[in-house]
Amino acid sequence: QGCTQKYIVKNYFYYYLFKFSAALGEEIFYITFLPFTYWNIDHSVSRRMIIVWSIVMYIGQVSKDILKWPRPLSPPVVKLEMRTNAEYGMPSTHAMAATAISFSFFIATMNQYKYPFELGLVAAFVFSTLVCLSRLYTGMHTVLDVIGGALISAALLTLLYPAWDTIDHLLLTSPFCPLFSIAVPLVLCYNYPKLDYYSPTRGDTTTILGAAAGATVGFWLNNQYAAPAYTSKSFQPGFPLVTSTMVLMLARFFVGISVVLLTRWVTKSVVLGALGYRYKFPIHDLQARRRLEVEVPYKFVTYSSVGFTATVIVPLLHELLGLM
């Protein structure tokens, strides 16, 4: 419903720190950091992070709409965000995503790259803690929401870790991977728990599953027809500190993110236009875009295109431009 209280910022350090930390659990972070790891660090690390992230986020989003625990009341809490106020609170998916991404990145890299174990552990802990604290500071979650989200994510990561090599292998080599990667997320999105009023959780879940589906199909295609995932070293520079290499990494990132954002804009416009023609509504009609038959296909197609572009089209463009 929006912010219900006016507020005055007295400590700008905490205000901007936690506003920034909150953004680390949102789309702007996912659409930049996850592709960055694929383009510049390691294919296997990126694949494992995306697998864990999509599973954890789906379970977290569905749990919210099953449990239906309200967010903190305002007043007395001052809420600094508006959009997510329409969602339920338990568990905090920001806390779940931050815990899943930071610790899966740490676990996936600790045996592949040379850096102090303690440093990686502290970095993962600090990252997830900042995001968790940001949800309290912005008034969007209770302490129980945040702790519950972090613990659920940790439990899921513990359960997935022994199997993630097997899952990764099947997604790369199984001939059924493309069909499975598209059909299962679509079924889950169309059968998302129904609420008495509109909540952005279904749309956000569709965005996440769509991006993961497109990326997974891209992983499979790359392994089948481009460079096999288990032998390619071209995308595995580790953590270089050489200036020229850093410039190359930044060039890959800016080229890649430009193409990804362009893909998102073009695909969204085309799909919404087609759905608007099919169901007879103007593309700027927000209520129409929230309908199940519109929201799921438009977000799924848009973000699966983003995931596919990030894993297939962008690497080909990098090679064409000599950025390998």
Q: Which of 15, 169, 156, 170 is nearest to 80 (CA)?
A: 15
CA–centroid distance for 179 within its chain: 21
Token pair in block for residue 276? 């608007």
End-to-end CA distance of the chain: 47
Q: Which of 98, 20, 24, 35 is nearest to 249 (CA)?
A: 35
Token pair in block for residue 275? 């759905």
If you search the block for the tokens 């973000």, which residue do you land on? 303
CA atoms of 93 and 102, how far apart (whole Å): 14
Q: Which of 131, 137, 70 is nearest to 100 (CA)?
A: 131
Residue 54 and residue 151 in contact, taking contact as beta carbons nearer than 8 Å: no
CA atoms of 238 and 246, how far apart (whole Å): 11
With 0-12 CB in 10 A as exposed, 13-18 as middle and 19+ as buried, what is 265? exposed
Question: What's the farthest any 2 CA atoms get from each other in the chain?
Answer: 59
Token pair in block for residue 80? 């600094």
Task: Tell me the catalytic residues.
Answer: 94, 141
Token pair in block for residue 119? 């440093």
